[in-house]
Amino acid sequence: MANAGQVLARCFVQFLVWGPEGFSFVHCLKHLDVFLRVFVRTIFGCLLATSLIPAWVLCLLLKLVLSRLPVERRAAFERCFGRMLIVILVVLWRMVFTLCAWIRVEVFQQEVPFLGAPGKPAVLVMNHTCFLDAVLATSLAPLNRSSDVRVLVANYVFKIPLLGTVMRVMGLPEVPFKACAGGGETSNMTVEKNLMEERLNAFNDHVRSGGVGAWFPEGLMNRGDPEILQEFRAGAFAVPVKTDVEIWCIAAVGCNVCWPVKAAVGGLPARIGLKVFRLTDSSHKLIEDLKDCDERAKALHIAGLAKSAVQEGVNELVAKGFSANPGMVKRS
């Protein structure tokens, strides 16, 4: 794709060579469209990167402080620092979306406070179409609950400059996909089982202590039809089986228009619809009739219910006119 300077140069050369009479306004408009798309993506990318710099600098300062603290105080200090870092990112990412007025985000939410009361165990699941999903979900978290949120993140994401360092300090658990060892997303969903079990146990302990556990049950980004969900994997649904939690869902349509799944940087003009709702105030109510079943069967049952609810939310957003297809606006 041509950069912004090349696009402007083409229009200028066309005007000089053909003169006012031979100048094609329509042709130039096409170049202008390319220029604007490059321009807004550049602005969005710069703002997003800039939002990470303060957090990254704080992470460097943390290393300096930890080196001077007694060993027995380091873990507690790092946890508190991580919680503060999450709140800072929530505020900064909200500012990014406020400044990028060409990205319209419309949220349809229940009157029940999102993620419930502080100190109450909860989990959050969302359909996954692009990298923007995680940024949007994080920015939606209420400030009084944002520091409680921990998101399961694929190991390849930790290799991203700036972001990887910040996520480690935030204490986000890493999903150990085997095929991601060399970096980059993979279609292979195989994980290191022992390591994954260990991290899921720690993840569950965090939720049980009153935290919020969040993940994308589809596992990887949806590269097919974004309006049709992929299967919800049962793995992390062991958490609402072991611990009685509120289950919250976000159905999103249009994120992939703003940040195409294969693009390195997002920020394209888009109208994004988000339906935020509570599936249940007690996960154990959903499995009352499965007392004789094993943990995996219960997890699969909850995963199926969550998938159906999120798919219904996606369908409602599409009916409202939101679309996951670039350049297309559906009308109800």
Domain count, the chain: 2
Neighbours of 183 (CB within 10 A): 12
In a domain, 326, yes or no: no
What is the β-pairing status of strands 270-280 and 246-253? antiparallel
Q: 11 and 74: one domain?
A: no
pLDDT in the model for residue 244? 96
Would you say residue 324 lies in a domain? no
**pLDDT value for 96:** 93
As a 3-state breakdown, the chain gives helix, strand, coil percent values, each rounded to 5, of: 55, 15, 30
Q: What is the pLDDT along the chain (332 residues), one digit of tens a residue?
A: 445 454 445 554 454 444 454 445 555 555 566 777 888 889 998 999 998 888 888 888 888 888 888 888 888 888 888 888 888 989 999 999 999 999 999 999 888 889 988 889 999 999 999 989 988 988 898 988 988 999 988 888 888 877 888 888 888 888 877 765 444 555 566 778 888 888 899 999 999 999 999 999 998 889 889 999 999 998 899 999 999 999 999 999 999 999 998 888 889 999 999 999 999 999 999 999 998 899 999 999 999 999 999 999 999 999 999 988 865 544 44
Reduced to 3 states (helix: H, G, I; strand: E, B; else coil), residue 118 is coil
At 186 the pLDDT is 53
Indicate whether 21 belongs to any domain.
yes
The residue assigned the tokens 């939690």 is 245
Same domain, 95 and 14: no
| Same domain, yes or no: 172 and 315 | yes
Query: Model confidence over 107-131: pLDDT tens digits?
Result: 998 888 899 888 899 999 999 999 8
pLDDT of residue 10: 52
Q: What is the pLDDT of residue 166?
A: 84
Query: Whole-angstrom Cα distance, residue 322 to residue 54?
Result: 34
Assign residue 200 the CATH number of its domain: 3.40.1130
Q: Do the domain assignments include residue 328? A: no
Query: Is the domain of 75 the same as that of 213?
Result: yes
Is 165 inside a domain boundary? yes
Is residue 118 domain-shared with residue 14, that is, in the same domain?
A: no
38, 61: one domain: no
Q: Are residues 83 and 184 in the same domain?
A: yes
Residue 29 has what pLDDT? Answer: 52
| Residue 88 resides in a domain | yes
**Domain with 272 in it:** 50-319
Phi-psi region at 257: left, alpha or beta (left = phi > 0; alpha = psi -120 to 50): alpha
Same structural domain, 27 and 94: no
Q: Is residue 22 located within the same domain as residue 57? A: no
Beta strand spans in 42-188 (E): 103-109, 122-126, 149-151, 153-154, 174-175
| 37 and 64 part of one domain | no
- Do the Cβ atoms of 221 and 310 come closer than 8 Å? no
Note whether residue 83 is domain-resident: yes
| 128 inside domain | yes
Distance of CA 238 to CAs 142, 172, 215, 233, 245, Å? 25, 18, 12, 10, 11
Q: Given CA atoms 252, 255, 256, 262 in this order, what sign does their dihedral have?
A: negative
Please indicate, yes or no, whether residues 261 and 283 belong to a single structural domain of this protein: yes
**Are 135 and 236 in the same domain?**
yes
**b vs e for 282-321, b when ≥16 Cβ sit within 10 Å of the residue's Cβ?**
ebeebbeeeeeeeeeebbbbbbebbbebbbebbebbbeee
